[in-house]
Amino acid sequence: MFTTHFDYLYVEPSTFCAVKCPRCPRTYSPNSFKLSHLNLQEFENFISSPLWENIKTIEFGGNYGDPIFHPRLSELVNISREQHPEVEQIIHTSGNQRPNWWEQFLPNINKQDKVLFSIDGLEDTNHLYRVGSNWAWIEKAVLLASQKATTFWKFIVFRHNQHQIIDAIKKAKDLGVSQFILTKSGLFNGDWNDERQIDPMAPDSKWIARGNSIKKVFQPKCQTSSRHYLSADGQYSPCCWIEFSRNYSQSISERQSLSHIMSSVELANLKADWLQNRPKTCESKCQSPIDGRSSHQQLWVDLSMGVEQLVKSIENFADGNQ
């Protein structure tokens, strides 16, 4: 069997989205995917496998889309809960839906569930990366969701919002958010430089996640932990990263069992390729520095902190001390 870890599943309900983030593959590579919504019956069949007996978490997110644009997301959530009553469900979203949609959807979740909002700024800046977003809708969505579920605000630091970190944390607290996730990204790596060789979105260097050049070891995360990924068009992959290539993906619509997929030729080929012709995706995502550092760094801010303690914590994070 490919792996014995089955406590986590990442699901992409839909490849539809209402915002156009410039560094999202749906924006810079629009022909690399097809518009689709995950089939409910196929999803139910897939998660009913006995291998999911001890599943702890199902995350709804995706490589291309926003879960809230699946027309039957409430049913997907209810299927998960019916199949696995104790499972934790996490929904990743930009929040860019009309308030009446949230009012209809939120009764399907509870405080055991989590909604993680990706909001990169405030009313005057969030739309600079989350192009096409509606601040009034997002603000209302966070307020409503915080009354029903556990909510998180993920804030990626860009040039246009680096001066708003404290104000954004205050706003999150006012809206009832449980935790604020301050995020340094490693995407400012030169690939997006303009003719001046400057990345126009890059923040000050202290807010950029840095890899390091010390010796690294290759450790496939899909072997040492549960990384299972299910795409909106019903393709299973060992993780969301390798899904992009589709070389090792398999359709769940063919009614083959999960145990059959785990013993498939495709996954056997992936194991063989790790030894002989390692996929670039695996190389970049699973070649970990020995000291455990990552090119994607986060500070989970406790919103109960006082202002002085909060500022000190953020300063330490910016200086690389956390």
User: For 189, phi and psi rounded to 5 degrees?
Assistant: -110, 15
Q: What are the structure tokens assigned to 283, written together?
A: 């190389």
Q: Are 311 and 305 in contact (CB under 8 A)?
A: no
Distance of alpha carbon 194 from alpha carbon 196, whole angstroms: 5
Q: Is the model more confident about 255 or about 30?
A: 30
Tell me how far CA of residue 210 lies from CA of 24, 177, 265, 320, in angstroms: 20, 28, 37, 10
Tell me how far CA of residue 25 lies from CA of 15, 31, 39, in angstroms: 11, 9, 23
Q: Is the model more confident about 6 or about 190?
A: 6
Laid out side by side, the sheet with 228-230 consists of 250-251, 235-237, 228-230, 8-11, 57-60, 88-93, 114-118, 150-156, 179-184, 297-302
Distance of alpha carbon 122 from alpha carbon 113, whole angstroms: 25
pLDDT band for position 212 (50/70/90)?
low
| Position 297, amino acid | Q
pLDDT at residue number 211: 61
Question: What is 168-180 written as a DSSP string?
Answer: HHHHHHHTT-SEE
pLDDT at residue number 288: 61
User: For 216, phi and psi rounded to 5 degrees?
Assistant: -120, 160
Q: Are 130 and 141 in contact (CB under 8 A)?
A: no
- pLDDT tens profile 232-242: 999 999 988 88
Q: Which residues lie across from 58 on neighbouring strands?
A: 9, 89
pLDDT at residue number 290: 40
- The distance from CA 117 to its chain's CA centroid, rounded to whole angstroms, is 10
Number of residues in the chain: 322
Overall average pLDDT of the 280-284 stretch? 82
Q: Are 182 and 164 in contact (CB under 8 A)?
A: no
Q: Is the model more confident about 226 or about 38?
A: 38
Q: Is the model more confident about 32 or about 143?
A: 143
pLDDT at residue number 58: 97
